[in-house]
Structure 1
């Protein structure tokens, strides 16, 4: 006998759908978290960033030690993602069901395809955007932090691993996971907002939440293929893979720059 709060088994077969490019997803047990959970996670992210900034802040950005740069870059997003996972356990059915976070090779393949699309879109977007704002203003926040800051090989590899692999996992849990799931629960009249609304809102919030106003339009271009991967499969792994694909070249460029292999 199962308890009233026990999740129903998740069906392994996807039903058919009339939409030609968006796969239908099976019905999942409902969860008890919504936008409040996402706002709480965003508060954790901002509070952690503020705390780390106050605790580590000693002078200008250029004078920050390498260790402080690593901690300040990684901790806020990592803590926020852990808070999101905890919420799904405490107020829902866990991340596998609530965030659609499961392993499927099909999702990896879809993520790789949208990742390639993302690299193309990002490359074109960066070229156009740099022409508009000028090369001096085209530097991302993380690039500015590590500019002219020599790193040990271990520190540079740690930064590369975070930017390429771990950071995208954390951000996808927050935006295409928690925010997406909260948006899908919203109703307009008697109709749920659904996956298209979740795609639009999560893409916009992802771009704005980086708190780099000048780069928001570029971040929108970057975010669209990543969100499309989530929209097409209905699961989170595909957008994680697409995000990692998109981050690989920028992360590699920062790695080579911090090691002094190429000039910044």
Structure 2
């Protein structure tokens, strides 16, 4: 492990005054610690997906509600990499990523989240002739809701995961660890925004919605870019996820 000075600009803007140079630039296996944190989170996500691909079919036969909740575990586990990296090599989540939104984060996040919804609905409308109504609609979500009819606790749990846990986990990985690592290597801010948005779309493995997800990722990243804080992108992501979560809550009642 060695230490090296951190470039100024974008990365420094996201750091509180008084942060040590050694913590900001700490290298692990020759790479910035945030890059390793990103790889840990992404690797854990894919490993869990393989495990649950084996487990979930059998679980669904006995308890469909539990299977639906378990399906979200790999997504929530994305936060594991940033958490581990920050605890081992950084200065802790609050100082490394600023995940808890302040008032400015809330304002910017609400605006960017609303923009993400507009972008998503606009691109969905434009892409309907290509992919068809079902692929781009909420029909798959409605299928899940019909399978969970009467499972109020499960529906509420899924809605909470969608609005709180999933946005926090995904943003810590993408606009937290990956963003910080790319900024350390002096990648231009606009390129960081694009790369994190494309990888965000890849993470969801939904080819019919790739362009929609990239557009949403750009909106979330804009919140991070404006404020220098992950908290703003978490708010934007949560706002974007609120309509489908609201649909789930309607199904719960």
TM class by smaller structure = 0.7 to 0.9
Give how far 1:64 is off: 6.5
Question: Per-residue displacement from partner, 1:186-218 (whole Å, max 9, x unpaired)?
Answer: 1xxxxx214333212111100111111221111
Unaligned runs of 5+ in 2: 4-8, 27-32
Question: Per-residue displacement from partner, 1:53-112 (whole Å, max 9, x unpaired)?
Answer: 2123229x7987111111122x11222213321211101111122223344211111111
User: Are residues 1:38 and 2:38 paired?
Assistant: yes
Contact 2:99–2:168 at 8 Å: present in 1 too?
Answer: no
CA RMSD of aligned residues (A): 3.0
Aligned length: 235
Give the Cα–Cα distance (whole angstroms) in 2 for the partners of residues 217 and 93 of structure 1: 35
Question: Which of these residues, 225, 236, 239, is aligned with residue 233 of structure 2?
Answer: 239
User: Are residues 1:179 and 2:178 paired?
Assistant: yes
Unaligned runs of 5+ in 1: 6-16, 187-191
Contact 2:39–2:81 at 8 Å: present in 1 too?
Answer: no
Q: Which moved more, 1:155-164 or 1:27-36?
A: 27-36
| TM-score, normalising length: structure 2 | 0.81
Q: 1:231 to 1:171 in 2, by over 3 A?
A: same
Question: Per-residue displacement from partner, 1:16-35 (whole Å, max 9, x unpaired)?
Answer: x9x9xxx9555644143042
| TM-score, normalising length: structure 1 | 0.78
Give the Cα–Cα distance (whole angstroms) in 1 for the partners of residues 143 and 84 of structure 2: 30
Contact 1:101–1:237 at 8 Å: present in 2 too?
Answer: yes
How is 1:85-234 mapped onto 2 (pairs within 5 angstroms)?
85-139=83-137, 143=141, 146=144, 148-151=146-149, 152-186=151-185, 192-234=186-228
Give how far 1:135 is off: 1.0
Q: 1:120 to 1:144 in 2, by over 3 A?
A: same
Contact 1:207–1:223 at 8 Å: present in 2 too?
Answer: yes
Give the Cα–Cα distance (whole angstroms) in 1 for the partners of residues 167 and 130 of structure 2: 27
| Structure that is richer in helix per residue | 2
**Which position in structure 1 is the counterpart of 2:81?**
83
**Which position in structure 2 is the counterpart of 1:10?**
none
Question: Per-residue displacement from partner, 1:132-181 (whole Å, max 9, x unpaired)?
Answer: 31112225797277153134111111111111222111111111111111
Give the Cα–Cα distance (whole angstroms) in 1 for the partners of residues 106 and 197 of structure 2: 20
